[in-house]
Amino acid sequence: MVSKNFENNKVANNATSVNNSNEVLLNYIGRIITLAMLQEKGFKIARLAGNRTFDEKIVKAKKKSLKATGLLVPAIIVEADKAIEEGLEVVDFETGEQVTEENARYYVVLVDANHRYKAHLQLLNEDRNYDGEFSFMFPLKDISIAKMLSEINIATNPWKAADYGKGAAMILTDELPLLNALNKLTGNGYSIESAAMWLTSKKKITKSILVNAMNGIISDYLKDDKYIERGLKLLEAARKSFSEDFLKKRTMPDWIISKSNEYEDSKNAFIKKMSNFLSQIDRETADKIEKSKGERGGDSKETIVNRKLNELWEKFGN
């Protein structure tokens, strides 16, 4: 039951669910909460399982910032019950163990600041002189976590386009094979642009499409999964000759798309021919293509790479 203090403070718009019986957390509404305060009351920190992958470079930068100035802005948290009720998977931040309905009342979930919190934990373990405190607050509006994530990261823009794909997959209940395939490639370092070109043979998947998906607006482009298998087949063939770093860029899939336009009436024949072409290029030739350099005042690297690939393609076809 909601306390009178909660009502008198007129913070009924706070994101903490009034249906939740955890009166301990209700007492924290409208206040800055420290990690020590939460731990004293027996609460643990959790995270959303599908949130963006940790980037150790960012964690390192956050550690430097925390040591220099401490935490300047509190992290936003919600009750684990709320996240689970919205169909999100929640895991213990440190152990990775799933938080269930049975033990959710002992957890709060970080909606943002995951990198900052991980940096804080690492500093506590590594630096005896670090005495920084970590602080949290509940959001001031009662909105869904999906909307919260979207608005936070649109406003501050710390997410890359690919991160919105992971956010969408975490939130959506629809099964979208293309989104899953995109996230698998971007998780391995592909840009959303290059991943989309490999998997769709188009350039139609953009950040705005993924942001909309997080808000439940699913583009027809995300529903179109007919090219995934063929795209992965071409990528696997290309991996036999070219380095992964080269294939993560848009140059190769962009060139393949340009060639596929010449085979509008026979896509299957094109896939077969292109797969054979890509896999038979020897490593020495592939290495020369990858190391192509643009010319000052002349052709760009992409133009030079395309020209070399075109020459090989023409010889292969004869």
pLDDT in tens, 103-117: 999 999 999 889 999
Task: Name residue, tokens 């060139």.
Answer: 255
Low-confidence ranges of the chain (pLDDT < 50): 1-21, 157
Nearest of 190, 174, 296 to residue 251 by alpha carbon: 190
How far is 114 from 132, CA to CA, in rounded Å?
16
Rounded to whole angstroms, the maximal C-alpha distance in the chain is 83
What is the tens place of the pLDDT at every residue in 81-135? 999 999 899 999 999 999 999 999 999 999 988 999 999 999 999 999 999 999 9
> What domain range is 293 assigned to?
228-317
Query: What does the mean pLDDT of the chain come to?
Result: 84
- Name the pTM for this structure: 0.56
In a domain, 286, yes or no: yes
pLDDT of residue 29: 62
Q: Do 21 and 131 sit in the same domain of this protein? A: yes
| Nearest-angstrom CA–CA distance, 67 and 77 | 23
Neighbours of 18 (CB within 10 A): 13
CA–CA distances in Å: residue 314 to residues 73, 82, 149, 258, 294? 59, 59, 49, 14, 23
Residues 153 and 239 in one domain: no
Structural domain includes residue 196: no
Task: Work out how many domains the chain is built from and give that number.
Answer: 2
- Residue 173 sits at φ, ψ, to 5 deg, of -95, -20
pLDDT score at 21: 46
Contact, 216 vs 147, CB < 8 A? no
Distances (CA, A) of 15 to 142, 172, 230: 4, 20, 45
Q: Are residues 120 and 240 in the same domain?
A: no
